[in-house]
Amino acid sequence: MLSFIKRYKFHLLGFMVFSATFLSISFYLLTPKKKLPIFNPSDVNPELVDSTVQHISKYHTIADFKFTNQNGEMITQKNYEGKIYVADFFFTTCPTICPIMQDNMVEIQNTFKDVSEVMLLSHTVMPHIDSVPVLKKYALEKGVMDSKWNLVTGDKKDIFYIARKSYLAVKTETEGELYDMVHTENFILVDKQRRVRGFYDGTKKEEIKRLIGDIRFLLEEKN
């Protein structure tokens, strides 16, 4: 047996190398590759979507926008051109889920603070309360990096429509004045093509971990 091994050792070595290579390639080809869905209005809970777009099943993107940030600067889609970003909806006096959401958004900010391709965008659902000075005070308290994260206010109607027609993430009041909004705990992941790629519970650490992983995946995505 020993003489057989010595005689054919190079053949056996070659076979072992071939087998290892074959198994590695097979494992790679058979392992499901990670994919992130592209969300359209028809894919989402209708309660979160404006009725005028609920039928749309493809090619949905974030509409153009124009809001004012915590520094009184005009923020538009141009500021987010070619960026991956996380959007959410909040108000500064919210005593329940907002503080948790914003603390988790700070974690995302700090994780990608040196990655210029990643940004954050928080919209107030109470613009009559959240003026520029109020947003600035809130931003300073939370440690917001101005170059990375915009807290924005604007016309209530415009915020309402982008929340429900673009980000597909905000409920409406069953009663009350027109454009009343009930924000959810959703963080919305948007890719460089302005497509919605994921929804995450902004109050849960495991969801934040998943979101961070998905942002890293999008940074490597080729299309």
Phi, psi dihedral angles at 74 (to 5 degrees): -75, 125
Cα–Cα distance measured from residue 131 to residue 144, given in angstroms and rounded to the nearest whole number: 16
Roughly what angle, to the nearest 10 degrees, separates helices 205-220 and 97-111?
Answer: 40
Answer whether 145's CB lies under 8 Å from 116's CB.
no
183 assigned ligand-binding residue: yes
Cα–Cα distance measured from residue 138 to residue 92, given in angstroms and rounded to the nearest whole number: 7
Cα–Cα distance measured from residue 56 to residue 219, given in angstroms and rounded to the nearest whole number: 27
Cα–Cα distance measured from residue 130 to residue 156, given in angstroms and rounded to the nearest whole number: 11
Cα–Cα distance measured from residue 154 to residue 158, given in angstroms and rounded to the nearest whole number: 7
**Residue 144 tokens, joined:** 């917001």
94 assigned ligand-binding residue: yes
Cα–Cα distance measured from residue 153 to residue 207, given in angstroms and rounded to the nearest whole number: 26
11 assigned ligand-binding residue: no
**Residue 15 tokens, joined:** 């076979």
The C-alpha angle 65, 70, 73, rounded to 5 degrees, equals 55
Indicate the annotated binding residues for Cu cation: 94, 98, 183
Indicate the annotated binding residues: 94, 98, 183
